[in-house]
Amino acid sequence: MDKSQGYRIMRSFVFKAGLFLLMLVMLDRVLGLGLDYVSSHITAGEAGRDNYISDSVAADVLIMGSSKAFRHYNAQMMTDSLGLSCYNCGEGACGILLAYSRLLMIGERQYPKHIIYEITPIYDYLIYDESQRALGRLKLHYGRIPAIDSLLWQVDATQRYKMCSLLYRHNSSCMLDLTTYFLKSQEQTAVRGFLPFEGSFDPMKTQVNAPVQYDRSMGYRYDSLKIKYFHRFLDLAQAHSSVTFVVSPVWYGQDTLVMEFVKNVCKKRGIPLLDFSNDPKYVHQDKYYSDGIHLNALGADEFTRDLINQLKRKKIF
């Protein structure tokens, strides 16, 4: 094979490889834009709730935090009792990283008058590997606000490059989104963002202690990134709203040492803290729980009534 023939073969290979890559890019863009349209037009289920929180919610009071926020705070009951519109923005297995990002998006329209934040140490300031759940929600909002993009890169530096793919942004949600959009399938509809767990509690199937244990030699291990965004969240929130921290009931109670970080923050920033985690009314009271961490519908309503009474008694609202 002479040299000119080798060049022709090489040019042909480079051309075909370039054409293949171009087709992949075009396919990624076309399918990615299609999924963008689908996900942004879902009004039911988890995706619909996320769309509403990110793009439409406007309420006097917002509940924020983890699944304990999502499952424990009856927003309709709070609306009726407080005379203020209320919406529950809590999200399962997520904490301060998602809450900060959602507050940024909500603030593009209107900040709430009041924020009630459910403190969950493993999601708000302790080391605990749950970041992928928050990333899954935030990937769909990539490019909207620079601060959200920066947060994603700090959680995972490779996201800066992965986000070049529009399909990648939907890799954890595309099947559910397509099913929800085309088949109109959905989970039970949340009321003002609140969806309690149903069912009874079997204490034989729960942990005796909290999922994060105290190490006598090391103490609790704090996550510097979460703490950084914990303070950024409060800087943003307190500039526009009043903030109240709440810890809702836990079947087995909670170690008071794990709350030292929050207590110090509250003291410095003048934030009220309402801690129900060791309230004897709820500790080991099986009728109020669906599992060791989450209240059932009965427990959520009872806790919400107690919370409303505390908010009024302490004149927080």
Confidence check: pLDDT of 307 > 60: yes
How would residue 223 be classed by pLDDT, with cut points 50, 70 and 90? very high
Closest by CA to 112, choosing from 75, 76, 138, 86, is 86
- Sorted by sequence, the CB contacts under 8 Å of residue 222 that are 6+ apart come out as 125, 126, 127, 261
Residue 101, pLDDT score: 97
d(CA 244, CA 196): 22
Q: Which two tokens stand for residue 158?
A: 């490779």
Residue 264 vs residues 140, 258, 315: alpha-carbon distances, Å: 35, 12, 22
Residue 199, pLDDT score: 84
How would residue 160 be classed by pLDDT, with cut points 50, 70 and 90? very high
CATH fold, domain 41-197+219-313, is Rossmann fold (3.40.50)
pLDDT digits (tens, 9 = 90+) for 10-28: 888 888 888 999 999 999 9
d(CA 33, CA 201): 44
Q: Do the Cβ atoms of 192 and 79 come closer than 8 Å?
A: yes
Confidence check: pLDDT of 210 > 50: no
Residue 179, pLDDT score: 87
Residue 72, pLDDT score: 98
Domain spans in the chain, listed from the N-terminal domain onward: 41-197+219-313
d(CA 294, CA 292): 6
Confidence check: pLDDT of 311 > 70: yes
**Measured over all CA atoms, what is the biggest interatomic distance in the chain, rounded to whole angstroms?**
92
Least trusted range by pLDDT, from 86-90, 183-187, 266-270: 183-187
Q: What is the pTM of this model?
A: 0.93
Q: Do the Cβ atoms of 59 and 86 come closer than 8 Å?
A: yes
pLDDT digits (tens, 9 = 90+) for 212-222: 555 555 678 99
Confidence check: pLDDT of 229 > 70: yes
Question: Mean pLDDT across the stretch 120-133?
Answer: 86
Residue 211, pLDDT score: 52
d(CA 278, CA 82): 25
